[in-house]
Amino acid sequence: MIGLLNPRARVLMLVLLAALIAAPLVADRYLMSVLILIFYFAYVGQAWNLMMGFAGQLSLGHALYVGLGGYVSALLWLKFGIGPWLGAFAAVAVAAAFGAVIGWLGFRFGIEGVYFALLTIAFAEFTRIAFDHIDYAGAAGGLFLRVEEGEWWNLRGGTLLFYYLALALAVGALVLTAFLARTRLGYQWLAVREDEEAARALGINAFRAKMTAVLISSAMTAVGGVFTAFYNNNLFPSRVFDINRSIEIILAPVVGGLGTVFGPVVGAFILTPLGEALTALTGLFGINTPGVKGAFYGLALMVIIVLKPSGIWPWLARALRLTERRP
């Protein structure tokens, strides 16, 4: 399942990474913005994948952590002048606390599978409506961050800053996942995902394993929220906490390959450009249709889950002979 990369694939990855690091030299603003989106979805997809792909806990409410991360860091910055590098810690703490509550309720009371997914949706939607009515956080009118150039230490900067930040996040999440997958905890997750009762019988503390997955996942996702808040410079409850945001997060890992280290990355690199191309193409024909991209994403989900439920990466890795034979 995890499949170690062979030397040839490692060289290929390093070349790709070098190309992405050098890309700002040649890429224009639009291409950069698409790449930033790809990195972002690879990053949050990776965070979701840890919970669903590895630990087997289906969350459809990850927009909750994105929104909380964004709101906490933006409020700290706007109201107290505390910069996002520091604010990110608070954002992570708040999101992880919510994750802890959801995880505790879910796992202690035996809410499993679809029911657990509904629990996560309920929390996200509840928080969305709550934020619509919190005047301190701008209520439904949203929060706006002033656009200033130059202060990179406060994440106030141009595309280049966010490009490298997003790249660092995506690579960091990839490395972290690859590392976790090889730890004791990573193997416990797989055991719990495959058969929780058997895992318990082996002496694995399933509750703790699942809780750790939720905590790591929510904390990582909150950092993604900090990123989007300062990148987009605005926050609306109806946008950031929306269930469609949660669904967007699961697209890349599902299409790329659930429970694989490279799945979310591959998924993001396939879906985001295709979606952008589709928007551009329909624009070219003079039809300004907001539903095309969404319909395509929906179709992508259905086609993948019908034809290749394990995702594109395992198949791609085999076809290109990128992984070593299983040890």
The site for other proteins (CB under 8 A) is made up of 52, 58, 60, 105, 109-111, 113-115, 117-119, 121-123, 125-126, 129-130, 132-133, 140, 243-244, 247, 250, 254, 258, 289-295, 297-302, 305-306, 309
Residues 6 or more apart whose CB falls under 8 angstroms from that of 103 comprise 210, 211, 214, 215
Supply the minimum distance, in Å, between the C-beta of residue 31 and other proteins.
26
Supply the minimum distance, in Å, between the C-beta of residue 243 and other proteins.
5
d(CA 200, CA 210): 12
H/E stretch holding 234:
strand 234-235
Residue 160 or 299: the one with the smaller Cβ distance to other proteins is: 299
Q: How far is CA 264 from CA 16, 43, 126, 317, in A?
A: 16, 8, 28, 14
* Chain mean position to CA 258: 13
Residue 158 or 309: the one with the smaller Cβ distance to other proteins is: 309
Supply the minimum distance, in Å, between the C-beta of residue 115 and other proteins.
6
Supply the minimum distance, in Å, between the C-beta of residue 298 and other proteins.
3
d(CA 98, CA 123): 9
Supply the minimum distance, in Å, between the C-beta of residue 110 and other proteins.
7
Q: Determine how many CB atoms are found less than 10 A away from the CB of residue 286.
A: 6
Q: How many helices (H) and strands (E) does the chain have?
A: 14, 2
d(CA 16, CA 152): 26
Residue 137 or 229: the one with the smaller Cβ distance to other proteins is: 137
Q: How far is CA 208 from CA 64, 203, 245, 302, in A?
A: 22, 12, 28, 33
Supply the minimum distance, in Å, between the C-beta of residue 67 and other proteins.
15
Q: Determine how many CB atoms are found less than 10 A away from the CB of residue 168.
A: 12
Residue 32 or 254: the one with the smaller Cβ distance to other proteins is: 254
Residue 134 or 171: the one with the smaller Cβ distance to other proteins is: 134
Residue 27 or 58: the one with the smaller Cβ distance to other proteins is: 58
Q: Are 71 and 229 in contact (CB under 8 A)?
A: yes
Supply the minimum distance, in Å, between the C-beta of residue 101 and other proteins.
10
Residue 183 or 238: the one with the smaller Cβ distance to other proteins is: 238
Residue 119 or 265: the one with the smaller Cβ distance to other proteins is: 119
Supply the minimum distance, in Å, between the C-beta of residue 122 and other proteins.
5
3-state DSSP of 168-228 = HHHHHHHHHHHHHHCCHHHHHHHHHHHCHHHHHHCCCCHHHHHHHHHHHHHHHHHHHHHHH
